[in-house]
Structure 1
Amino acid sequence: MPRGGSGLPDLPPLLPAMISIGALAALAGSQFGGFDAIAAAALAVAVSALLPALALVRRGWAIRTSGRVSARVARGACRCPGLLGVGVVSTGGTVAALPWVPADLRPMLAAGGLVVAAGAFIVGLLQIPGAAFTLAGRLRHGFDGLIVGMCLALVGWLLIPGFGAEYPLGYLAASLAAAGAAVAATVVLGPVRRRIAVVPCAGGAVLAIAGLALLVVTLGKSGPSWLTLAAAGLAVGGPPLIWFGARLVAPASEPVPMGRVAPAFGGYPVLAIPVAAATLAIAHHLLTSAELDRAAMFLGALVGGLLALREFPNAADLRRYAHRLAAQETRLRALLAGANDVTMVLDNDFVVRWQSPAAERLFGLHREDLVGHRFLDLLHPDDRAIAADELRAVVGRTPAARPSLLVARLRDGLGCWRDTESTVSDLRANPVVGALVLQVRDVSQRVVLERTLQRLTCCDQLTGLSNRRELLRAISSRRGAGRRSGTLLVVDLTGFCAINDVVGRAAGDSLLLAAAQRLRSLVGAEDLASRLGERQFAVVTASGPIEAYALGCRLLAELSRAYPLPAGRPVRLVVSVGLTALEETASAEEVVRRGDLAVRRAAESGATRIDWYDESLEELLVRRLDVERHLPGAAGRGELDLLYQPVVELGSGRPVGVEALLRWRHPVLGTVLPAELLPAAERLRVAGEISEWALHTACRQVAAWRRRGHDLWLAMNVSARQLASSEFVPEVAAALSVHQSPPERLTIEVSEVELADQVSSVAGQLSRLRALGVRTGLDDVGTCDTDLARLRRLPIDVVKLCPPGAIAGDGAALEVAAAVVEVARRLGAVVVAEGLETDDERRLAHDAGCEFGQGFVVAAFSPAEHLEAFLERHRPAPR
């Protein structure tokens, strides 16, 4: 058999019960077999009590030495089975000793054993874990049992006259049995958690006490043998039940000290019945008899004394409970006062009935500022309606619903509005609270931080306008389903980057800020102004096309005005505006892209302009991307070509020179003209490579024609940016040297339209070219307002005059052409009329003083081999 830490055998749970059943069977058999009832009872009770007694002692020792619980809990838990074991030993020993003492001493022995067993059982039951956690609680249960027992004893003494005086031991046994039963009932009805374990212990103790009490009465009154066996049967059934219950009551962990939280007042309803019965018995005795005897008065006094003694542990528990409540209240107030939330209690009318001390510390609100006032009156007027709806919704929901969140502005003690966030809990179903509870938090700093983050993420830091993210959000929110719901205007400031490079970043930022302020002053309150890039702004307006176009015109006029700079003279910017409609079919990114295409087309003209987006821009964009994708390496692939147009004397028609025009012949894109080719080359920074190829090709061709006897000069057009490059003049010199071409046979021309304010830099480069012997020319004279003074400042050898249509049909234009011819002659420059398409234009150009001319009336642009045929036809006859 396994052994525990005590060295005693581990008793199987059913073995005591089986032995007791056998003992009961033996008792029943002894009644019919003629055995001595006392001997049979002694043997049966001793056998049934032996093993449970040993097991209970082992159980108490095992709990004491297990180490699974604290020493305090172990001491309390091991006393329970130990004392119950003492009661079992006393019961079994008393009955087993009866056959060995004389018959006249047996009642005394049974009474003594009853006193010991009843005391051990009563104290052991009070030691059951969970029955009572304090000494005061155990005393209270003990007093309850004794009071019930003494009340029953008093009732029996008064209602059964003569029994107590005739046989005191029997009366004492009955009183002890009543007290033991009362204590057992008190323990069973107490606040124990494992009642299934307590009931067997209490029932076994009651059976053992009742068996001994009945045995005392039977032995003293010389009752029949079956009554002795019945008493023994009760005593036999007690130990197995006690052992079964004791196996379940031992705790595995620290108990919850419920008795220390509040005293148990359940004893008063239990005591009311026996005390009332004793009172009625005394009243009946006084009505039917003249006086009370000493025993009745002693029992009555004993009941009164026990009731008085019971108040001492109650008073101790009440004092302890009061101190604990006061400490808990102090702790709760300290926690509430130091909390970062303000607790408010509202009634059904939303009137504040209580507020935590933190309200004064956090919000500066005193008790008189809150208590008695409606909570809604403390909120901002704009937030009251929403807060009222939220509170009504909380009241209308079930009490078990989750707490709601209420966001509103609350007036503090200084009259300022605080952003708050309140958790609303419906505790009306709680009998202790019975109201709405608000946990109010000050979230002003968080709201300020959120607004700051919103400003940082949605606004441009320099201008204060919205950024691209906010612009996309506004476009998405303003687009209607399947309808136009506004217009996007994109504004581009050309020349801003140059200002940054010249006068510095600080001056550029001040100029950009001034432009943003002008932009903001023109847009409406419902419009959104934003900054798209370093030099681009955008405006989202709900206006239609006509109103949006008018707004764009106002923006052009206002933003084009001069801007004062901190140092230096005022500057003007070239402003371009692109417009596109907001449509549901296009995403926000697509709308911005369309606006950017429109403003790019407006900016390409080089002047202040406003333009709308249309689908042709998409084709132009695709074409432009294709050109930029295929252009790099075109010279190396042999895709570039030069076409030539002859320049002739208008009087004789003799060829004197040619003009070279660049062409790009791509197998997919077709023929790309210089107007499309050269800007793309500038953007891709391959203009130098193309220019070098063109120079070498032209010089090679001029040298070849000279070898064939054609002494011609060749003119080439270059852009002002290309001419201003420091590498251009060395490239020209290298090409002339490589191909042994005379410098005077090469003419470098620049368009008058591109000069603008670059006259100084261009004049210097033209002077360097003339120093090489290369002739210089000014092209497209007459396409814009011609400045005759500019002709005097530029070192030029050739002036190309156009358009011929103006010469042919406008008298003022003829006067301008005559003036240009006159100035050119005085400067020693040759005048060439270009673009001649009819004989009349050729004649008028000759009459205006132009010596040379070119155009379709003479010959179109053609490859070199075709031009050679023209030169052969117009070769002068040999002299």
Structure 2
Amino acid sequence: MQPQAAEPANLPVVPFWRPRRIGWRLGVGFGALIVLMLLALGQASLQINRITQINERFATGDMQRLLRVQALSLQTEGVGSALVRLMNAPREHRVEEYADVDQRNRAIDGIISTLSTEVLAPEQQETLKRLVACRAIYGDAFIDVVDQIEADDLKAAARELNDKVNPSLKAMLTESQALLRYERENIEAELEDSQHQFAQMAMWVGGISVMAVVLALWLGVRTTRSVVGPLEALEDAAQRIAQGDYASRVASSRVEEVDRVGEALNTMTEAVAQREQQIAELAYKDTLTGLPNRTALSREAAQAPTPYRCVAMVDLARLKAINATLGYATGDTLIKELALRAGTVMQQAAASGLITGVPIAARLSGGTFAAAFNVAGRAQAQALHEAMELAMRQPVLCSGHSVDLNVVYGLADSGTDGEALPLDTLLRNAEVALHAAKRGATGFAWYSEAQEAARLGHLSLVSDLRTAVAGSQLQMWLQPKFALPGGQAVGAEALVRWQHPQRGFVSPAEFIPFAEQTGYISMVTQWMLQEALRTLAQWARTQPALSISVNISTRDLLDPQFCERLQNLLAQHQVDPSCLRLEIVESGLMEDPQTSVDVLHCLRGMGLELSIDDFGTGYSSMAYLQKLPVSELKIDRSFVDGLDHQSGSQRLVKTMIELGHGMGLMVTAEGVETEAEKATLIALGCDVMQGYLGSRPLHGAALQAWFDGLPEPVVAA
């Protein structure tokens, strides 16, 4: 702190008219510019105001007076001609000539009267007085001429005209010409004065503008000299920072603002250095476990002296359920415990020689970890897996709960011969093996090309599914349902089948799960509903009591447009809504219970029948099931298999049937294959059965034959 306190004493002493604050300099300089510009504007406004006044006076006074004087001269000249015409006109035409002479006389009198009211120069006033006197003489002579004309003494009238009227008119014309000449001279003088004022204004404005330009140039030069140099120093410092040089500092200058920027830049340099270090840690390290992340794993593997030939991917199973049930804090505790135990096993394996070299472990995402290492062969990798399993057996105590570390493993290697595969390839292969271990419920799997082929095959199937829907490759098979105990057909369940043009028959178990994951299942549901309604429309004429059940996926229940689309299909095919049943899987309702219940009420409001499929395999509560507007429970086939000789299953199924009846629902048993199972279901009170005992799924001619064999419905009289 002491060097910084002493630093201002080393700065050069600056006179008060050259302050260190560039803002003060710019303020004074630009203030002077503004003053000059205001002076220029003020002078221009003043001169323009003067010129405007001159122009207004010219337009409203001088020019109007000039025009009146000109009109006076014209009228004076014209009245003499009018008198001559009057003398020579026949008596019957004299009225028109009198009117013309009178109009001109009135015009002369009006002009003289107007001029007499205006402020005139002394010379103009004298001229106007003489003009008035001449007008009086002319007036008397004019009356005499008129009297003689009316007396038909035209000679006397002509003599009076020549002796008195014309001289007086000539005198009037002379005086009016004098007035006209004076007005012209006055206007020329005012125009000359206006030009002089304009030239003076231009000189003032030009002079002030030149001063402003000179001041602006001086300010520009001074500002450039005092700012550009320090700014170049700041620019150099910023470039050094951009290149990663955080040790250099910005030196002080003679400009206070630049010094403050320099100090801020120095402070920023220190902060950037610290944050870059933190960012590097965040970019390459997992904050929860302290392990490297995927990026760090790739970087360290690339820098390793020998390539890694084996990668293990480890995943903490049921992490999503644990987070949802016990909270994210419990999930984080399990992740950290897994990382700790796995790290201990890897260190022990390296110390014992089971692993050669230095292994690398990293957390990829969620509860998924990866480790790259080298072993002599798969036997050593298997031994490492067993040691890892042994370390994971001890449960973890989290918030009073004992939670098992259920871990799944996927391994991939480059083999013992040939070059090592890239780390990214090993990671991808290990992930494929991990998914294979999850699907197979084995908990452990090595990567194989068969897994890759199966994965690509599934992706190809999903890609072909859209084409299958559009190209009529899908088929709707129907498995009949029969009432108990009578055995009458009450309807059928629609089952989707896919006849692929290259692969042949594709089992629903192969493509339905992937269609669920990718969202293509909604497209399949739409196709099945279309086919089911088309079939019901055909049945309506001969078997209107039969219904068709269609399975609805969880994605359909969460689709806000599903009800509207189904309403449009019902309207299109003109089918009784009660003939269409929608089957909903019990477990699927729990993903978003509120939305699912709202959609089910919407469907029920449309008149559709709703069924809970695979009842007993989900985990929804009885209180929740009471809220569902369903009309049927379907007991899963796992409870029906061997029902006739399993007393425990009978008690469970009886409870389900009584529960359904207690809620006012029809109960259907799936997977009935023997007469003994059927008899047991009848004894337990089941309403409907479905299974191979009644009929296998039917399609095409077999379906038509079954339909044709149904008895005709009885029509009441």
Tell me the TM-score normalised to structure 1 length: 0.42
Task: Work out which of the residue numbers 384, 404, 408 in structure 2 matches 1:577.
Answer: 408
TM superposition shift of 1:770 = 1.2
Matched, 1:843 2:679: yes
Task: Work out which of the residue numbers 554, 567, 575 in structure 2 matches 1:720.
Answer: 554
Task: Work out which of the residue numbers 699, 705, 708 in structure 2 matches 1:872.
Answer: 708
Distance 1:718 1:479 in 2: 56
Distance 1:575 1:449 in 2: 38
The 1:475–1:497 alpha-carbon spacing in structure 2 relative to 1, beyond 3 Å, is: farther
TM superposition shift of 1:673 = 3.1
The 1:498–1:677 alpha-carbon spacing in structure 2 relative to 1, beyond 3 Å, is: farther
Given that residues 492 and 599 in structure 1 are in contact (C-alpha distance below 8 angstroms), is that contact kept between their aligned partners in structure 2? no
What is aligned with 2:692?
A: 856
What is aligned with 2:465?
A: 631
Matched, 1:464 2:297: no
2:364 is aligned with what amino acid?
L
What is aligned with 2:542?
A: 708
Number of residue equivalences: 418
Q: Secondary structure at the match of 2:629?
A: coil
Matched, 1:695 2:529: yes
Deviations 1:476-527 (A, max 9, x none): 999999xx98661332566669979x99xxx979965872464134422245
Task: Work out which of the residue numbers 422, 428, 450 in structure 2 matches 1:593.
Answer: 428
What is aligned with 1:779?
A: 613
Name the stretch that deviates more: 736-745 or 839-848. 839-848
Deviations 1:625-684 (A, max 9, x none): 211222233211222221111001232221111100112221123223333323322333
Distance 1:859 1:479 in 2: 67
Distance 1:868 1:478 in 2: 70
Q: Secondary structure at the match of 1:737?
A: helix
Deviations 1:450-479 (A, max 9, x none): 999996775446653223355457779999
What is aligned with 1:528?
A: 360
- Pick the structure with more helix per residue: 2
Tell me the TM-score normalised to structure 2 length: 0.51
Task: Work out which of the residue numbers 339, 360, 367 in structure 2 matches 1:519.
Answer: 339
1:810 is aligned with what amino acid?
Q
Distance 1:638 1:735 in 2: 18
1:612 is aligned with what amino acid?
A
Given that residues 481 and 490 in structure 2 are in contact (C-alpha distance below 8 angstroms), is that contact kept between their aligned partners in structure 1? yes
The 1:645–1:463 alpha-carbon spacing in structure 2 relative to 1, beyond 3 Å, is: same
TM superposition shift of 1:873 = 1.6
Equivalent positions of 1:325-336 (< 5 A) are none
- The structure with more radius of gyration: 1
Distance 1:511 1:786 in 2: 23
Distance 1:539 1:499 in 2: 25
What is aligned with 2:492?
A: 658
Given that residues 480 and 584 in structure 1 are in contact (C-alpha distance below 8 angstroms), is that contact kept between their aligned partners in structure 2? no
Equivalent positions of 1:89-488 (< 5 A) are 459-460=285-286, 463-468=289-294, 470-471=296-297, 488=312
What is aligned with 2:504?
A: 670
TM superposition shift of 1:835 = 0.8
The 1:544–1:769 alpha-carbon spacing in structure 2 relative to 1, beyond 3 Å, is: same
The 1:654–1:462 alpha-carbon spacing in structure 2 relative to 1, beyond 3 Å, is: same
Distance 1:460 1:589 in 2: 19
1:620 is aligned with what amino acid?
A
The 1:510–1:792 alpha-carbon spacing in structure 2 relative to 1, beyond 3 Å, is: closer
Distance 1:680 1:617 in 2: 16
TM superposition shift of 1:820 = 0.6
Distance 1:575 1:476 in 2: 32
2:432 is aligned with what amino acid?
L
Q: Secondary structure at the match of 2:493?
A: strand
CA RMSD of aligned residues (A): 4.3
TM superposition shift of 1:602 = 4.6
Which structure is higher in RCO with an 8 Å CA cutoff and minimum separation 6? 2
Distance 2:666 2:626 in 1: 14
Matched, 1:612 2:445: yes
TM superposition shift of 1:846 = 1.8
Q: Secondary structure at the match of 2:467?
A: coil
Distance 2:500 2:461 in 1: 9
Q: Secondary structure at the match of 1:629?
A: helix
1:545 is aligned with what amino acid?
Q
2:339 is aligned with what amino acid?
L
The 1:496–1:639 alpha-carbon spacing in structure 2 relative to 1, beyond 3 Å, is: same
Given that residues 645 and 659 in structure 1 are in contact (C-alpha distance below 8 angstroms), is that contact kept between their aligned partners in structure 2? yes
Given that residues 323 and 331 in structure 2 are in contact (C-alpha distance below 8 angstroms), is that contact kept between their aligned partners in structure 1? no
Given that residues 479 and 485 in structure 1 are in contact (C-alpha distance below 8 angstroms), is that contact kept between their aligned partners in structure 2? no
Given that residues 818 and 848 in structure 1 are in contact (C-alpha distance below 8 angstroms), is that contact kept between their aligned partners in structure 2? yes
Given that residues 542 and 713 in structure 2 are in contact (C-alpha distance below 8 angstroms), is that contact kept between their aligned partners in structure 1? no
What is aligned with 1:238?
A: none
Matched, 1:548 2:380: no
The 1:469–1:547 alpha-carbon spacing in structure 2 relative to 1, beyond 3 Å, is: same
2:410 is aligned with what amino acid?
L
2:335 is aligned with what amino acid?
A
Deviations 1:822-876 (A, max 9, x none): 1111111111111112222222222221121111111111225422311222325
Matched, 1:828 2:661: no
Deviations 1:760-779 (A, max 9, x none): 44333222221111111111
Given that residues 313 and 411 in structure 2 are in contact (C-alpha distance below 8 angstroms), is that contact kept between their aligned partners in structure 1? yes
1:715 is aligned with what amino acid?
S
Distance 1:689 1:461 in 2: 42
What is aligned with 2:596?
A: 762
Given that residues 496 and 508 in structure 1 are in contact (C-alpha distance below 8 angstroms), is that contact kept between their aligned partners in structure 2? no
2:528 is aligned with what amino acid?
A
Deviations 1:682-741 (A, max 9, x none): 333333222222211111111111123352111111222322222222222221111111
The 1:769–1:750 alpha-carbon spacing in structure 2 relative to 1, beyond 3 Å, is: same
What is aligned with 2:269?
A: none
Where does structure 1 lack aligned partners over 5 or more consecutive residues? 1-447, 565-569
Distance 1:710 1:473 in 2: 70
Where does structure 2 lack aligned partners over 5 or more consecutive residues? 1-273, 351-358
Deviations 1:326-350 (A, max 9, x none): xxxxxxxxxxxxxxxxxxxxxxxxx
2:385 is aligned with what amino acid?
A
What is aligned with 2:646?
A: 810
Between the two proteins, what is the percent identity of the paired residues? 24
Name the stretch that deviates more: 614-623 or 512-521. 512-521
Matched, 1:685 2:519: yes
1:595 is aligned with what amino acid?
A
The 1:770–1:617 alpha-carbon spacing in structure 2 relative to 1, beyond 3 Å, is: same
Distance 2:472 2:520 in 1: 15
Distance 1:645 1:678 in 2: 18
Q: Secondary structure at the match of 2:708?
A: helix
2:443 is aligned with what amino acid?
I
Distance 2:294 2:705 in 1: 61
Given that residues 496 and 573 in structure 1 are in contact (C-alpha distance below 8 angstroms), is that contact kept between their aligned partners in structure 2? no
Q: Secondary structure at the match of 2:494?
A: strand
2:508 is aligned with what amino acid?
P
Q: Secondary structure at the match of 1:837?
A: coil
Q: Secondary structure at the match of 1:709?
A: coil
Deviations 1:307-337 (A, max 9, x none): xxxxxxxxxxxxxxxxxxxxxxxxxxxxxxx
